[in-house]
Structure 1
């Protein structure tokens, strides 16, 4: 009988890159990876919030470097990876989280907004994966985690462009995983459910937009948790971090799109 070996969830000695790390899910994933022992490169379009997030990682006793990046621009992504290589000489884990969302029905959505969403959410993931692969190949090992969404599994009204971008991330992830499956590199998509970050909360979020007549944003938020999620409560950035740590450790999980959504999607 084959000896059973418990999975080791320690990331001590590993170097992890997280894009869109300045706030929300990206920051939560970065902190979870740091708690597991990884050193972090936190990249964001807004360097100031990346620096703030990096301070949180350092408070956990891990090394953290903050970088500015525009994931939609190849030169910016290449510069980011060059800085990672110069600082650490390797890249073990890459979490391509940077993304944007907006609301708009198909008949009112400007073409420019469709292009903006696609450039950041899809082109950005492609450019990051392409650049990260070169560095990971040198060590014949790596874990790539692309952030998709339950909106990449199920369409939502007012989010056709966002859903299209996340469906694309899932398809790209599955195909890319098969290309590098024999190289010691895994590629997976993490699909957050309903998380109380900017997409859902605030005056411009889905809770406000989908509020019923006379219903406050907070009441709408509570109703959507209750009506959409079998568990009846929203997910957290820590939930996303837990799955990211697992995927960063799992050698034989690849090409998957795993939802953390309280049972909403298949």
Structure 2
């Protein structure tokens, strides 16, 4: 699947899953606008894309701010051309039981993970609909299909992303635009790794974080191994090229979820 002559935008693309998706789209031939709250890491990803021979630009964005989102879309199009593919990946997480959660914890996750997806999707549709073409990929999670302890607020936000994506897909289905949710499984990024991640929090007595990480891969995943940002990139490339796949929430999780 090739994406030459397509312009893509990926939010939260400075590291992790967003970076993996941005690099995969570039490898498939797209020119890619790399957006992140941290402009320095966005520039690093953009430099890697340019080194591979594709055009790229780094943009700073706060996805919860409508003015910032609109400026991101305008900046991407001014630098690269008409936007055809948008991957709304930017998100945040904290790991707390429902009893530990504060209102501030809840609102921060909802502001970025739900409001941000809404604002970025709406802004992308403003430029896509008049052209009769678009591919919108909203990054959800397997936690948007199956609830996880200590992640009630995060799961709620990702269930919302899936429902929102399915509804919007039906609104624009006859306009040449597809909208899908991509649901990463267990990826060795900040959500899972480190003492503050799930592998650290869910350690058994006498277990190191590394041992906990290995155990969760073996017990939760039928394939027995974690997924990678590059795995997410493979699905993103497919969804960016698929004409008749829309309204779906597709997991890349080694067989964990339905």
Q: TM-score, normalised by structure 2?
A: 0.99
Instruction: Please give the alpha-carbon distance, in whole angstroms, between the structure 1 residues aligned to 2:71 and 2:199.
Output: 38
Instruction: Please give the alpha-carbon distance, in whole angstroms, between the structure 2 residues aligned to 1:56 and 1:212.
Output: 40
Instruction: Please give the alpha-carbon distance, in whole angstroms, between the structure 2 residues aligned to 1:59 and 1:24.
Output: 19
Q: State the Cα distance separating 1:138 from its structure 2 match.
A: 2.5
One of 134, 138, 150 as aligned partner of 1:146: 138
- The equivalences for 1:106-185 within 5 A come to 106-185=98-177
User: Aligned pair 1:10/2:19, yes or no?
Assistant: no
SS at match of 2:173: coil
Q: Is the 8 A contact 2:7 2:81 kept in 1?
A: no
My pick for the range that moved more, 78-87 or 229-238, is: 78-87
One of 49, 54, 57 as aligned partner of 1:62: 54
Where do 5+ consecutive residues of structure 1 fail to align? Answer: 1-8
Q: Is the 8 A contact 2:56 2:80 kept in 1?
A: no
Tell me which residue corresponds to 2:208: 216
Instruction: Please give the alpha-carbon distance, in whole angstroms, between the structure 1 residues aligned to 2:7 and 2:18.
Output: 16
Q: State the Cα distance separating 1:48 from its structure 2 match.
A: 0.3
Q: Is the 8 A contact 2:190 2:197 kept in 1?
A: yes
Instruction: Please give the alpha-carbon distance, in whole angstroms, between the structure 2 residues aligned to 1:83 and 1:138.
Output: 18
Instruction: Please give the alpha-carbon distance, in whole angstroms, between the structure 1 residues aligned to 2:131 and 2:102.
Output: 44
Q: Is the 8 A contact 1:85 1:135 kept in 2?
A: no
Instruction: Please give the alpha-carbon distance, in whole angstroms, between the structure 1 residues aligned to 2:79 and 2:43.
Output: 16
Instruction: Please give the alpha-carbon distance, in whole angstroms, between the structure 2 residues aligned to 1:57 and 1:220.
Output: 35
Instruction: Please give the alpha-carbon distance, in whole angstroms, between the structure 1 residues aligned to 2:48 and 2:242.
Output: 26
Where do 5+ consecutive residues of structure 2 fail to align? Answer: none
Q: Is the 8 A contact 2:35 2:61 kept in 1?
A: yes
Instruction: Please give the alpha-carbon distance, in whole angstroms, between the structure 2 residues aligned to 1:107 and 1:88.
Output: 47
User: Aligned pair 1:249/2:241, yes or no?
Assistant: yes
